[in-house]
Amino acid sequence: MSVPPDLLQGAVTVLFGALAGGITNAVAIWMLFHPYEPKGPRWFTLQGAIPKNRARLAKTVGRTVGQRLLVPEDLAGRLTAPEVRAAFERALEGFVSGLLDAERGSLRQELPPAVLAELELAFESLAPVLADRLATFAATDQFREATRQFLARATDEIAERPLSDVLTAARRAALRQRLEEWIAGTAASPELQATIEGWLERQTTRLAGDTTPLLEILPPGVVAAVERAVQGYLPIALDRLAGVLADPEARSRLQRTLHELFQRFVRDLLLHERIVARLVVTERTIARLLDAFERDGVDQLAKLLDEPALRGQVARSVNDAVVSFLRKPIAEHLANLGPERLAGVRRTVAGYVTGALRDPATRAYAIDRLDAALAAAERRTLGDVLRYLPPDKAAELVARAAQAHEVRTWLTDGTQAAFKALLDRPIRRPADGLPPGARERLVKALSPALWGWIQEQVPAVVEHLDIEAQVERKVLGFSVQRIEELVRATTQRELDLIVRLGYVLGAIVGLAAWGVSLALP
């Protein structure tokens, strides 16, 4: 059976039209992604539309998302939504629970080595700075007033507390050991004598311009003690005088002195008086005088001094001499000594004090006195002890002590030791040391504060979010193959429909072309 030529021509036209439409659409869809890289000669290269325009596509997508789809206002509103607040509270509760319930070691064990090294270095450099700042602040009136008020309040609060509650056996042993170490270290210091000499030099320099009489500086009982000492020394001096006369050399010198005095006396007499004096007073006469004084004169003089009338006269004379000496300004006494003798006195006093401090007996005495003081203090209250140290005076002493170099060194060492102890102390389980319900109260207290702070920071943070650039970088980060997979995974049905529609439209075009060919002559 033969097919009419016109019908065969129409079928072929429709078939080829359908094939042309379907294949064209399929090739167009394929060329959206392929080739991934440019293919062909330089004057005619082929590359898929998306790979070729990926940069433009990424920029367009980023601009669309950043300027129209996800604006900063939308982000800020989203971050402050109630569901975000609820998620934040759940996260905060989980964080606090994990922080309090976990068993932890010390900070030295928990922190990374790099962080721990930086922390130790910071603590080491921070300790002297804190000591200097504290010493500087201690020199201000504000520190003195704050210390005075604190000590006054503390005194009122602990006045009735027994000292035995504070001075435990362990603390007494620690105090004793600390005092022993301090005395040993101070006494062994080579700068001790120089320090004492420096202090004495400063005191003598200050007193060199002081016109205050020595009588006003000395305690009242010292003057009476000096008077009694001088009176008691007179009989001893007389005995020593007899001993001096027994010494041949001293006797010879005294005899020559009396002879010279006699010669001066004779020169002032008349002629006949000189002759008589020469005949009566000879060298043997002076020698017999000294022998008689050595033998009986001292005893007679001692008996004379024992008479009440003469004793009273001697006491008045001694008192007048002592008072006259003490009424002179202390600056005059120092000037009479002279620079060399004054320096010698300072060295001697510093040597005696240094030797006394380095003597083991002094150390033992100080320790014994400390033990006795601590034992006596156990029977007293803190108020009894603090009564002898008023808050004003205590604040002044603390302020002065804080300026000393040794105190700054102690503060520095103590701060570093405290930092090291803080790093080595185990944290353990923090929740064990908290009262019941503390976790809930902590979360309840932290949540509004942290959420309010986040609310304040959200606008500033969102303004710095470059969403357009972020999206553009993300799109550029995808490979073309990955983009094709994403597009096909979501639009494969539509792409297949486009190909089918191409076949249908191609067939319709072929049918129309066959119809037109029939209509034309």
Do the beta carbons of residue 258 and residue 350 sit within 8 Å? no
Share of the chain above pLDDT 90, in %: 0
Greatest distance between any 2 Cα atoms in the chain: 209
Q: Is the pLDDT confidence value at 364 over 70?
A: yes
114-128, 147-161, 251-265: segment of lowest average pLDDT: 251-265
Pick from 416, 356, 353: nearest CA to 130 = 416
Q: What is the DSSP letter of 268?
A: T
189-198, 201-210, 420-429, 469-478: segment of lowest average pLDDT: 469-478
Predicted local distance difference test score (pLDDT) of residue 23: 79
Predicted local distance difference test score (pLDDT) of residue 273: 47
Provide the residue ranges of all domains of the chain, joining segments of one domain with +. 5-88+445-519, 162-212+333-380, 213-328
Ramachandran quadrant class, 202 (left: phi over 0; alpha: psi -120 to 50; beta: rest): alpha
| pLDDT top residue among 259 and 171 | 171
Residues 6+ apart with CB under 8 A from 488: 495
Q: Which amino acid is at 36?
A: Y
Q: Is the pLDDT confidence value at 78 over 80?
A: no
Q: Is the pLDDT confidence value at 276 over 50?
A: no
C-beta neighbour count of 62 within 10 angstroms: 21
Q: Is the pLDDT confidence value at 270 over 60?
A: no
Task: Name the pLDDT band for 495 (thresholds 50, 70, 90).
Answer: confident
Share of the chain above pLDDT 70, in %: 59
Q: Is the pLDDT confidence value at 109 over 70?
A: yes
Do the beta carbons of residue 229 and residue 315 sit within 8 Å? no
Predicted local distance difference test score (pLDDT) of residue 361: 76
**Which range, 55-59, 131-135, 187-191, 259-263, is most confident?**
131-135
Cα-flanking dihedrals φ and ψ of residue 378, to 5°?
-65, -25
| pLDDT top residue among 298 and 14 | 14
Q: Is the pLDDT confidence value at 298 over 50?
A: no
Task: Name the pLDDT band for 279 (thresholds 50, 70, 90).
Answer: very low
How many Cα atoms sit within 13 Å of 172 on the Cβ side?
19
Q: Is the pLDDT confidence value at 443 over 70?
A: yes
Q: Is the pLDDT confidence value at 275 over 50?
A: no
Q: Is the pLDDT confidence value at 425 over 50?
A: yes
Task: Name the pLDDT band for 349 (thresholds 50, 70, 90).
Answer: confident
C-beta neighbour count of 6 within 10 angstroms: 11
Three-state SS at 53 = coil
Mean pLDDT on 485-508: 78
Task: Name the pLDDT band for 258 (thresholds 50, 70, 90).
Answer: low
Predicted local distance difference test score (pLDDT) of residue 43: 72
Rg (alpha carbons) of the chain, rounded to whole number: 56
Q: Can you read off the two tokens belonging to residue 133? A: 């700042």
In the numeric block, the tokens 């993300």 are attached to: 474
Q: Is the pLDDT confidence value at 501 over 70?
A: yes
Q: Is the pLDDT confidence value at 272 over 50?
A: no
pLDDT digits (tens, 9 = 90+) for 171-228: 777 777 777 777 777 667 767 677 777 777 777 777 777 677 766 666 666 666 666 6
Buried b (16+ CB within 10 A) or exposed e, 88-101: ebeebbeebeeebe
Q: Is the pLDDT confidence value at 238 over 80?
A: no
Q: Is the pLDDT confidence value at 265 over 60?
A: no
Predicted local distance difference test score (pLDDT) of residue 280: 47
pTM of the model: 0.33
As a whole number of angstroms, the distance between CA 297 and CA 288 comes to 12
Predicted local distance difference test score (pLDDT) of residue 28: 80
Q: Can you read off the two tokens belonging to residue 438? A: 């503390």
